[in-house]
Amino acid sequence: MIGVFDSGIGGLRLLDKLRQRWPQEDFVYLADQAHVPYGSLDRDTLLDLLQLNLNWLEKQGADRIVVACNTASATGIARRYRGQAQIVEIISKTCEQIPASTEKILVLATPFTAQSHRYQQVLARQLPQAEVKEVGLSCLAFMIEHLCPKQEIETYLKGELNAYRNGFDLAVLACTHFPFARDQFAKVLGIPLIDSESIALEAPAQPGQGTLRIATTGSVELLTRQLRGLMNWNVPCEHIQIEV
């Protein structure tokens, strides 16, 4: 079984791609919506929450867990997790998609991810010739999580990114919420966009039954509405309690 974890709904698009790739695999998705947005939390609180959330996924049977949250990945949880499941962090996998010839990269992330400089560190090893600019967008994950209108999101991005509209080869959408606003990013920036939805993962060792469980630490009613509105999924959700 593969577990997919995110602070909210951002990882749903990655989950969808993984299910299309391996339709016979069993998946369990956990959204820690009681504590979203992760980008505003301190590192120690984040690590405590991540240990609890990933441990819950492992107890459900997940032997591999994709941390589909850049902010969570930026904490180094893949090295720090104390359980037995294999942890796949998303930052290195996302960077692997950037062409080797790229010279100027704009990384758009939550404030926590931007301030961690994790993308800069990974890209310094992978593409030492590249110039990397990391920008934190403090409101966007919250806006997407609460289903704000597309025009409102576009207006926000224009205000935040006007200074970065020229001089970059591509932009990395370094938060799994951000691809829900891909069209708005494309209009504002007009450059190629890279995200985590097509990351390379090893195939499961053996197929499962094609089951899917979706859980949230927040409101089941809200997540059900988000699943219908953003993914056109009519899937039952369950509530779990995670507290530090």
230: helix, strand or coil: helix
For residue 70, give the nearest of 1, 117, 102 by alpha carbon: 117
* Residue 69: active-site member: yes
CA separation for the pair 170, 160 (Å, rounded): 17
* Residue 175: active-site member: yes
CB atoms within 10 A of CB 134: 21
CA separation for the pair 224, 113 (Å, rounded): 28
For residue 52, give the nearest of 181, 226, 215, 186 by alpha carbon: 215
Please report, in angstroms and rounded to a whole number, the separation of the first and last CA atoms in the chain.
Answer: 26
Q: Choosing from 95, 139, 175, 237, which is the catalytic residue?
A: 175
For residue 112, give the nearest of 159, 65, 73 by alpha carbon: 73
Q: What are phi and psi of 129, to 5 degrees?
A: -85, -15
CB atoms within 10 A of CB 210: 12
Q: Which residues are catalytic?
A: 69, 175
